[in-house]
Structure 1
């Protein structure tokens, strides 16, 4: 979307779950069609009104919220540029109502680690045991909406029952003075997204090793009847010694739940990594959607950029729906044919053309790793 205000509105509507992804994609396609005809592209708000997706009052409210979000983002970017360092949430209680030294239950908050649409994650310490933990606090706006609180509780309940070496471990959850929180394993490691931002395209051996661990976590989740639905570099934590954790099950869905149980979350996912079938209807996205997102994540790590790096998330969704993911070797010629073929299979539009399971992906990545290790031994 060429207008910055449209891009901000689109992102707000996606984050808030106010509009189905399919409606936003249709609007983006209408804008592209107008430009191809040499006509001025209609604005996103106008198209949403025409389609009857939003009324004028709801649109005006969404535009105001998007404007506030865009202004905050610009301020944060200016701060980052001027200081050379910025940590989300420092000194701010705007979204979460909590800050350093606050006590939630028996957990004393230290400092912010990350912030997302669901809330913020802080480092904290248990006052009773002295153990370091990560504490996720539901954002105030989300806490006031039933579906936001429901999704937060769903993630907490899921993680507290799951145990795998490549998943962040859930410990406990609770409410203190109306503030919902979730206690997790503290895993002090940068995300794959951070590593790519710092270094660009990553070494293939590293990409294969991390991909193998994430695929192993997905195989476990799928075996437990859970679809992650938001596999992306930001949700993969990688320590310097190679230990890896897949995190953020806030969008996960249990496969045996009826689709109505997740009807409020049918727009969920991250546009640049979202499988086509998930973009059309997130309620029906199965394990194969996670494999598609893993393929895009591997592409991003190996090439240094996602296959569709458009600034507007909805344009990226549209391209995942209608355009083939390019060969990763176009972006980075040094990628091996084996990894390129696997990424190609993972990112097929038809789920039936992808690997049949995460276990199959684990086997493929293990074979790639063994092949590289064998070649290194022969060269020595």
Structure 2
């Protein structure tokens, strides 16, 4: 076992089982609640900073503030399509961690990874290859994500990192999704940055979020969801020709996805409008 895979320091009442994933900011561990005898997910603040203590664009202290803010934001929601946080605590070594519902996978398990080079795709195991889902399944996922965003946006919050890995599957492919990872969320009281910065996942963020993430509105999340929608029905990133060629995709569905990707934010539908229009489409 390497240092990176080492089991976290003990925490009374919990037993760590396995590391599920790691990012530049945190590790996700499957753990057991010994008192309630249930499996949960531990998200542990584990920053991978450079020599100057920075994980662009913020210093580690700011990311830790955002980590704690994320747990507090998620704890305020009681929604079937937002991941619940049940506790915020610290490990024996002092690192903050949040306890969440354990989910079996993310949407990435259902649609594969975002890698489209034919030679590399051919070399992948089948479960990792990028692929499309039927329009009816894509519609279901989008409606569930929009249900979450309606509530989030209603509180003046912009998620800023809506992507397949942050749409968690409750019970594997075909199951309902829950929006997760609010570590990059913009809250109503967030002040504009002194200099333009971008945060998020490059392949899924809007043009205005790439230009300056501190100035975005809720329509930035709609752009990200539009990218996910096209990725789901075509198996690729946005491409008009591929979108037109999707068998069984109603014109109204394709047009809604195109509008979600409008360059100007005010030309994109809001979450309420997008959900209503999507719900009205028959498949």
User: Structure 2-normalised TM-score?
Assistant: 0.83
Distance 1:252 1:92, change over 3 A: farther
Aligned pair 1:247/2:177, yes or no? Answer: no
Aligned 1:56-67 pairs, distance under 5 A = none
Shift of 1:117: 2.3
Aligned equivalent of 1:146 = 61
What is the alpha-carbon distance in structure 2 between the residues aligned to residue 172 and residue 292 of structure 1?
Answer: 32
Paired residues of 1:114 and 1:122 also in contact (CA < 8 A): yes
- In the alignment, structure 1 residue 135 sits paired with structure 2 residue 42: yes
Please state how far the C-alpha of 1:278 moved relative to its aligned partner.
Answer: 0.4
Higher helix share: 1
Aligned residues: 256
RMSD: 2.3
- Alignment of structure 1 residues 166-315 onto 2, 5 Å: 166-176=81-91, 177-188=93-104, 190-197=105-112, 198=127, 200-238=131-169, 239=171, 240=173, 242-260=175-193, 266-307=197-238
Q: Residue 196 of structure 2 contacts residue 212 of structure 2 at CA under 8 Å; is this kept in 1?
A: no
Deviation at 1:170, TM superposition (A): 0.8
Q: Kindly indicate whether the alpha-carbon contact (under 8 Å) linking 1:299 and 1:328 is maintained by their aligned counterparts in 2.
A: no
Moved over 6 A (4+): none
Counterparts of 1:295-374 in structure 2, within 5 Å, are: 295-307=226-238, 326=240, 328-330=242-244, 332=246, 334-355=248-269, 357-368=270-281, 371-372=282-283
Q: Which of structures 1 and 2 has the bigger CA Rg?
A: 1
Q: TM-score, normalised by structure 1?
A: 0.63
Shift of residue 265 of structure 1?
9.6
How many angstroms does 1:217 deviate by? 0.4
Tell me how far apart the structure 2 counterparts of residues 121 and 233 of structure 1 sit (CA, whole Å).
Answer: 16
Please, which runs of 5 or more residues in structure 2 have no aligned partner? 54-59, 113-126
1:140 to 1:258, Cα distance in 2 relative to 1, 3 A: closer
Q: Give the distance between the partners of 2:95 and 2:195, measured in 1 at CA.
A: 22
**Where in structure 2 are the equivalents of 1:64-75 lying within 5 Å?**
none
Deviation at 1:130, TM superposition (A): 2.0
